[in-house]
């Protein structure tokens, strides 16, 4: 698992780096960001994974999310994966919400996506193994994400509860099997048999499995994509399931990185308390 250094910069006493590597899961070169806090100089630290949303790369949250200052204060590493495979010879679509930049954190089974779009395996298996073997981190991992990345974070954690000790999300796509941000992508990547879609739906997975701990979900009340995100479905399921956690509706906040940046400190502190 050789890593190529793209960049390394000092940040809040730690290092914000970007690396690329040849991915087996996606059969192409993949890029990801890693923030190592100053505490990592003295021993392994817990890890927070941040999964980004539609149209994003590893860079958006890394430069706009404001996570480094909070992670340095609490002694957490932060991993910023890309959202899809990229490059020549990799399938794409003219629409912003399908193809490169819109991997939806699933393993595609349909043409032309299947050869490369295996983001679920990439995050849960390949990149996790690379991170734990190449960086000074512990086996205590939390996961969060925004929008499509919030969907990815919740579904990945609910399906792999032994791998993650804490879970939160910013404005997640909460019920994709019943949303145009979901039905379009799930049918394209997985086919028209909806029986296989449920394992990629946060609301349905919470109903089936619950979550071993408590959840933190932040949602802006002025989010322009509320009809597509369907936070009410996840909130209702949390109530029905008696799931410990909090869904906070933040008055006046939209879907932008200004929203994410505003509450990034809350989420990092919340994960740090559970990862330590």
Tens-place pLDDT, residues 111-139: 999 999 999 999 999 999 999 999 999 99
Is the previous residue joined to 2 through a cis bond, with omega within 30 degrees of 0?
no
Domains of the chain plus CATH, in order, are 4-275 (3.40.50.1820)
Q: Which residues are catalytic?
A: 147, 223, 255
Adjacent-strand bridge partners of 170: 146, 218
CB of 33 closer than 8 Å to CB of 12: no
Residue 69 has pLDDT above 90, yes or no: yes
* pLDDT 10s digits, 161-204: 999 999 999 999 999 999 999 999 999 999 999 999 999 999 99
Threshold 0.95, pTM exceeds: yes
Beta carbons within 8 Å of 219's beta carbon, 6+ residues apart: 170, 171, 229, 231, 247, 248, 249, 250
CB of 77 closer than 8 Å to CB of 40: yes
């Amino acid at each position: 698992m050789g890593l190529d250094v793209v960049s390394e910069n000092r940040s809040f006493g730690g290092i914000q780096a970007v690396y690329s590597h040849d991915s087996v899961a996606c059969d192409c070169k993949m890029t990801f960001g890693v923030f190592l806090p100053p505490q990592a100089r003295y021993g392994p630290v817990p890890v927070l994974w941040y999964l980004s949303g539609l149209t994003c790369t590893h860079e958006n949250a890394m430069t706009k999310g404001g996570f480094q200052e909070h992670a340095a204060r609490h002694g957490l590493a932060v991993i910023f994966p890309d959202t899809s495979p990229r490059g020549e010879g990799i399938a794409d679509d003219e629409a912003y919400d399908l193809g490169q930049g819109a991997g939806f954190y699933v393993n595609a089974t349909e043409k032309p996506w299947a050869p490369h779009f295996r983001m679920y395996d990439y995050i849960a298996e390949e990149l996790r193994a690379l991170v734990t073997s190449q960086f000074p981190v512990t086996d205590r991992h939390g996961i969060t994400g925004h929008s499509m990345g919030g969907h990815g974070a919740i579904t990945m954690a609910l399906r792999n509860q032994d791998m993650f000790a804490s879970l939160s999300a910013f404005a997640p796509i909460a019920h994709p099997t019943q949303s145009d941000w979901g039905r379009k992508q799930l049918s394209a990547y997985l086919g028209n048999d909806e029986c296989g879609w449920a394992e990629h739906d946060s609301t349905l997975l919470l109903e089936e499995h619950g979550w071993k701990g408590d959840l933190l979900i932040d949602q802006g009340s002025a989010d322009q994509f509320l009809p597509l995100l369907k936070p009410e479905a996840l909130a209702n399921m949390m109530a029905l399931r008696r799931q410990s956690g909090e869904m906070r509706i933040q008055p006046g906040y939209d879907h932008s990185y200004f929203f994410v940046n505003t509450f990034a400190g809350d989420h990092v502190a919340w994960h740090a308390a559970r990862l330590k």
